[in-house]
A = this chain, B = another copy of it.
Protein backbone atom coordinates (compact mmCIF):
# COMPACT_ATOMS: atom_id res chain seq x y z
CA UNK A 1 0.00 0.00 0.00
CA UNK A 2 1.58 3.33 -1.01
CA UNK A 3 2.03 6.31 1.26
CA UNK A 4 -0.86 8.78 0.82
CA UNK A 5 -0.86 10.96 3.93
CA UNK A 6 1.69 12.06 6.49
CA UNK A 7 2.01 9.45 9.27
CA UNK A 8 1.01 10.32 12.84
CA UNK A 9 4.05 8.52 14.22
CA UNK A 10 7.36 7.30 12.83
CA UNK A 11 9.28 4.33 14.22
CA UNK A 12 12.96 4.43 13.31
CA UNK A 13 15.53 1.66 13.26
CA UNK A 14 18.97 2.84 14.40
CA UNK A 15 21.98 0.88 13.05
CA UNK A 16 22.13 1.15 9.26
CA UNK A 17 19.55 3.96 9.18
CA UNK A 18 20.88 6.80 11.37
CA UNK A 19 24.41 5.48 11.79
CA UNK A 20 26.88 2.78 10.74
CA UNK A 21 28.96 1.93 13.80
CA UNK A 22 30.43 5.20 15.03
CA UNK A 23 29.67 7.17 11.85
CA UNK A 24 26.54 9.19 11.07
CA UNK A 25 24.91 8.16 7.80
CA UNK A 26 25.21 11.42 5.87
CA UNK A 27 22.25 13.77 6.29
CA UNK A 28 20.41 11.71 8.90
CA UNK A 29 21.06 14.01 11.85
CA UNK A 30 19.62 17.02 10.01
CA UNK A 31 16.72 14.91 8.70
CA UNK A 32 15.85 13.79 12.23
CA UNK A 33 15.80 17.46 13.28
CA UNK A 34 13.39 18.27 10.39
CA UNK A 35 11.09 15.43 11.44
CA UNK A 36 11.09 16.68 15.04
CA UNK A 37 10.42 20.24 13.89
CA UNK A 38 7.35 18.98 12.01
CA UNK A 39 6.00 17.67 15.33
CA UNK A 40 5.85 13.97 14.35
CA UNK A 41 5.98 11.66 17.40
CA UNK A 42 8.95 9.26 17.23
CA UNK A 43 10.26 6.04 18.71
CA UNK A 44 13.59 4.35 18.01
CA UNK A 45 13.46 0.54 17.77
CA UNK A 46 16.58 -1.58 17.77
CA UNK A 47 17.30 -5.31 17.72
CA UNK A 48 20.95 -4.70 18.58
CA UNK A 49 21.59 -6.95 21.56
CA UNK A 50 25.32 -6.49 21.91
CA UNK A 51 24.94 -3.20 23.83
CA UNK A 52 22.64 -2.04 26.63
CA UNK A 53 20.24 0.83 25.95
CA UNK A 54 22.34 3.41 27.80
CA UNK A 55 25.36 2.64 25.59
CA UNK A 56 23.27 2.94 22.42
CA UNK A 57 21.89 6.28 23.64
CA UNK A 58 25.38 7.51 24.47
CA UNK A 59 26.65 6.57 21.00
CA UNK A 60 23.78 8.33 19.22
CA UNK A 61 24.00 11.43 21.42
CA UNK A 62 27.73 11.53 20.83
CA UNK A 63 27.06 11.59 17.09
CA UNK A 64 24.84 14.64 17.62
CA UNK A 65 21.40 13.02 17.31
CA UNK A 66 18.70 14.60 19.46
CA UNK A 67 16.96 11.70 21.18
CA UNK A 68 16.04 10.80 24.75
CA UNK A 69 16.96 7.54 26.46
CA UNK A 70 13.31 6.59 26.93
CA UNK A 71 12.53 7.08 23.26
CA UNK A 72 14.76 4.07 22.53
CA UNK A 73 13.11 0.65 22.64
CA UNK A 74 15.44 -2.37 22.57
CA UNK A 75 14.77 -6.05 22.00
CA UNK A 76 16.76 -6.80 25.16
CA UNK A 77 14.50 -4.64 27.31
CA UNK A 78 11.37 -6.08 25.74
CA UNK A 79 12.70 -9.53 26.62
CA UNK A 80 13.52 -8.61 30.18
CA UNK A 81 10.06 -7.08 30.66
CA UNK A 82 8.49 -10.28 29.29
CA UNK A 83 10.52 -12.47 31.66
CA UNK A 84 9.45 -10.32 34.63
CA UNK A 85 5.81 -10.07 33.59
CA UNK A 86 5.49 -13.85 33.31
CA UNK A 87 7.59 -14.67 36.39
CA UNK A 88 9.98 -16.85 34.37
CA UNK A 89 13.26 -18.31 35.64
CA UNK A 90 15.69 -17.48 32.83
CA UNK A 91 18.94 -19.00 31.67
CA UNK A 92 20.61 -16.22 29.70
CA UNK A 93 22.84 -16.88 26.70
CA UNK A 94 23.51 -13.22 25.87
CA UNK A 95 26.38 -10.88 25.12
CA UNK A 96 28.60 -10.05 28.12
CA UNK A 97 27.75 -6.36 27.63
CA UNK A 98 24.11 -7.14 28.49
CA UNK A 99 24.76 -9.00 31.72
CA UNK A 100 24.07 -6.02 33.94
CA UNK A 101 20.90 -5.04 32.04
CA UNK A 102 19.47 -8.57 32.09
CA UNK A 103 20.44 -9.71 35.58
CA UNK A 104 21.63 -13.13 36.69
CA UNK A 105 20.58 -16.48 35.28
CA UNK A 106 18.44 -18.65 37.55
CA UNK A 107 20.23 -21.76 38.88
CA UNK A 108 17.10 -23.84 38.09
CA UNK A 109 15.90 -22.25 34.88
CA UNK A 110 12.56 -22.93 33.18
CA UNK A 111 13.32 -20.64 30.24
CA UNK A 112 16.12 -20.17 27.72
CA UNK A 113 16.73 -16.54 26.76
CA UNK A 114 18.86 -16.18 23.66
CA UNK A 115 20.48 -12.91 22.56
CA UNK A 116 23.28 -12.12 20.14
CA UNK A 117 25.80 -13.70 22.50
CA UNK A 118 28.76 -12.94 20.22
CA UNK A 119 31.88 -14.41 21.89
CA UNK A 120 29.68 -16.68 24.06
CA UNK A 121 28.39 -18.56 21.00
CA UNK A 122 30.39 -21.75 21.32
CA UNK A 123 29.52 -25.44 21.25
CA UNK A 124 29.35 -25.89 25.00
CA UNK A 125 26.97 -22.97 25.57
CA UNK A 126 24.80 -23.87 22.61
CA UNK A 127 24.55 -27.49 23.72
CA UNK A 128 23.50 -26.31 27.18
CA UNK A 129 20.79 -24.20 25.51
CA UNK A 130 19.74 -27.14 23.32
CA UNK A 131 19.38 -29.43 26.31
CA UNK A 132 17.27 -26.88 28.19
CA UNK A 133 14.87 -26.59 25.27
CA UNK A 134 14.78 -30.37 24.73
CA UNK A 135 13.95 -30.67 28.42
CA UNK A 136 10.87 -28.49 27.97
CA UNK A 137 12.17 -25.01 28.87
CA UNK A 138 10.35 -22.05 27.30
CA UNK A 139 12.41 -20.76 24.36
CA UNK A 140 12.67 -16.96 24.09
CA UNK A 141 14.85 -15.11 21.60
CA UNK A 142 15.46 -11.39 21.40
CA UNK A 143 15.57 -11.40 17.60
CA UNK A 144 15.91 -13.54 14.50
CA UNK A 145 18.03 -11.20 12.34
CA UNK A 146 20.05 -12.87 9.59
CA UNK A 147 23.10 -10.57 9.58
CA UNK A 148 24.30 -7.14 10.57
CA UNK A 149 26.74 -4.72 9.03
CA UNK A 150 30.24 -4.25 10.38
CA UNK A 151 32.98 -1.99 8.97
CA UNK A 152 34.57 -4.95 7.13
CA UNK A 153 31.37 -6.55 5.82
CA UNK A 154 28.15 -8.31 6.76
CA UNK A 155 28.39 -10.50 9.87
CA UNK A 156 26.38 -13.45 11.10
CA UNK A 157 23.55 -12.40 13.42
CA UNK A 158 21.71 -14.37 16.07
CA UNK A 159 18.99 -15.61 13.73
CA UNK A 160 21.38 -18.36 12.64
CA UNK A 161 21.55 -19.69 16.21
CA UNK A 162 17.82 -19.34 16.87
CA UNK A 163 17.02 -21.20 13.65
CA UNK A 164 19.65 -23.86 14.31
CA UNK A 165 18.36 -24.58 17.81
CA UNK A 166 14.80 -24.70 16.46
CA UNK A 167 15.86 -27.23 13.82
CA UNK A 168 17.63 -29.56 16.22
CA UNK A 169 15.08 -29.34 19.03
CA UNK A 170 11.94 -29.32 16.91
CA UNK A 171 10.69 -26.38 19.04
CA UNK A 172 9.86 -22.84 17.90
CA UNK A 173 11.34 -19.77 19.60
CA UNK A 174 9.18 -16.86 20.73
CA UNK A 175 10.76 -13.68 19.30
CA UNK A 176 10.47 -10.58 21.51
CA UNK A 177 12.12 -7.88 19.34
CA UNK A 178 11.40 -7.10 15.69
CA UNK A 179 9.63 -8.61 13.74
CA UNK A 180 7.23 -9.48 16.61
CA UNK A 181 4.04 -7.45 16.29
CA UNK A 182 4.04 -6.84 20.06
CA UNK A 183 7.36 -5.00 19.77
CA UNK A 184 5.96 -2.48 17.29
CA UNK A 185 2.68 -2.23 19.22
CA UNK A 186 4.47 -1.34 22.47
CA UNK A 187 6.09 1.68 20.86
CA UNK A 188 2.83 2.80 19.24
CA UNK A 189 0.81 2.33 22.43
CA UNK A 190 3.14 4.71 24.26
CA UNK A 191 2.54 7.27 21.53
CA UNK A 192 -1.22 6.59 21.39
CA UNK A 193 -1.13 6.05 17.62
CA UNK A 194 -2.78 3.24 15.65
CA UNK A 195 -0.58 1.00 13.49
CA UNK A 196 -2.44 2.06 10.36
CA UNK A 197 -1.41 5.70 11.01
CA UNK A 198 2.28 4.89 11.52
CA UNK A 199 5.37 4.27 9.42
CA UNK A 200 8.60 2.40 10.17
CA UNK A 201 11.91 3.29 8.51
CA UNK A 202 14.51 0.51 8.46
CA UNK A 203 17.30 -1.21 6.53
CA UNK A 204 16.31 -4.85 7.24
CA UNK A 205 13.81 -6.10 4.69
CA UNK A 206 12.58 -9.06 6.72
CA UNK A 207 12.65 -7.91 10.33
CA UNK A 208 11.99 -4.17 9.91
CA UNK A 209 9.78 -3.93 6.84
CA UNK A 210 8.23 -7.38 6.83
CA UNK A 211 7.58 -7.23 10.57
CA UNK A 212 6.13 -3.71 10.51
CA UNK A 213 3.84 -4.45 7.60
CA UNK A 214 2.60 -7.66 9.23
CA UNK A 215 1.76 -5.52 12.28
CA UNK A 216 -0.25 -3.09 10.15
CA UNK A 217 2.30 -0.25 9.75
CA UNK A 218 3.74 0.90 6.44
CA UNK A 219 7.42 0.19 5.96
CA UNK A 220 10.04 2.33 4.26
CA UNK A 221 13.25 0.52 3.29
CA UNK A 222 16.43 2.59 3.02
CA UNK A 223 19.33 1.71 0.71
CA UNK A 224 21.89 2.03 3.53
CA UNK A 225 23.23 -0.28 6.25
CA UNK A 226 22.65 -3.95 5.50
CA UNK A 227 20.45 -3.21 2.45
CA UNK A 228 21.35 -5.36 -0.57
CA UNK A 229 20.18 -4.70 -4.15
CA UNK A 230 18.39 -8.07 -4.20
CA UNK A 231 16.04 -6.71 -1.50
CA UNK A 232 14.30 -4.57 -4.15
CA UNK A 233 13.13 -7.69 -6.02
CA UNK A 234 12.11 -9.77 -3.00
CA UNK A 235 8.96 -11.74 -3.75
CA UNK A 236 7.67 -11.88 -0.18
CA UNK A 237 8.24 -8.39 1.24
CA UNK A 238 7.29 -5.24 -0.68
CA UNK A 239 8.04 -1.96 1.13
CA UNK A 240 5.59 0.94 0.78
CA UNK A 241 8.61 2.96 -0.35
CA UNK A 242 12.30 2.41 -1.00
CA UNK A 243 14.37 5.54 -0.32
CA UNK A 244 18.09 6.15 -0.89
CA UNK A 245 18.61 6.97 2.77
CA UNK A 246 16.93 8.27 5.91
CA UNK A 247 17.11 11.89 4.73
CA UNK A 248 15.32 11.02 1.48
CA UNK A 249 12.69 9.05 3.39
CA UNK A 250 12.02 12.00 5.72
CA UNK A 251 11.84 14.46 2.83
CA UNK A 252 9.24 12.26 1.16
CA UNK A 253 7.15 11.96 4.34
CA UNK A 254 7.19 15.72 4.89
CA UNK A 255 5.81 16.37 1.39
CA UNK A 256 2.71 14.27 2.13
CA UNK A 257 -0.56 16.02 3.09
CA UNK A 258 -1.80 15.69 6.67
CA UNK A 259 -4.49 13.03 7.00
Chain A interface (Cβ < 8 Å from any Cβ of B): 117-119, 121-123, 126-127, 130-131, 134, 146-147, 153-157, 159-165, 167-170
A84 nearest CB across to chain B (Å): 28
A162: chain B residues at CB < 8 Å are: 164
Identical copies in the complex: 2
- Closest-by-CB residue of B relative to A130 is B156
A156: chain B residues at CB < 8 Å are: 123, 126-127, 130, 165, 168
A131 in complex: contacting residue of B117, B153, B157, B169, CB < 8 Å: B153
CA distance A123 to B169 in the complex (A): 20
Q: In terms of DSSP, what is the predominant structure of the interface of chain A?
A: helix
CA distance A213 to B61 in the complex (A): 60
CA distance A157 to B119 in the complex (A): 20
A215 nearest CB across to chain B (Å): 22
Do the beta carbons of A127 and B155 come within 8 Å of each other?
Answer: yes
A70 nearest CB across to chain B (Å): 31
* Chain B CB within 10 A, most for which of A147, A155, A156, A161: A156
A147: chain B residues at CB < 8 Å are: 130, 134, 168
Q: Which 9 residue pairs spanning A and B have beta carbons closest together?
A: A160-B164, A164-B164, A163-B167, A130-B156, A160-B168, A146-B168, A121-B123, A122-B122, A127-B156
A130 in complex: contacting residue of B126, B155, B170, CB < 8 Å: B155
A126: chain B residues at CB < 8 Å are: 121, 156, 160
Do the beta carbons of A160 and B155 come within 8 Å of each other?
Answer: no
Given A122-B122, A123-B118, A130-B147, does the pair A160, B165 have CB atoms closer than 8 Å? yes
A147 nearest CB across to chain B (Å): 5
A154: chain B residues at CB < 8 Å are: 130-131, 134
A227 nearest CB across to chain B (Å): 14
CA distance A25 to B131 in the complex (A): 24
- Closest-by-CB residue of B relative to A146 is B168
- Closest-by-CB residue of B relative to A119 is B123
Known interface pairs A147-B168, A160-B164; 14 further A-B residue pairs with C-beta atoms within 8 A, sorted by A's residue number: A119-B122, A119-B123, A121-B123, A122-B122, A122-B123, A126-B160, A127-B156, A134-B147, A146-B169, A157-B168, A160-B165, A162-B164, A163-B167, A164-B164
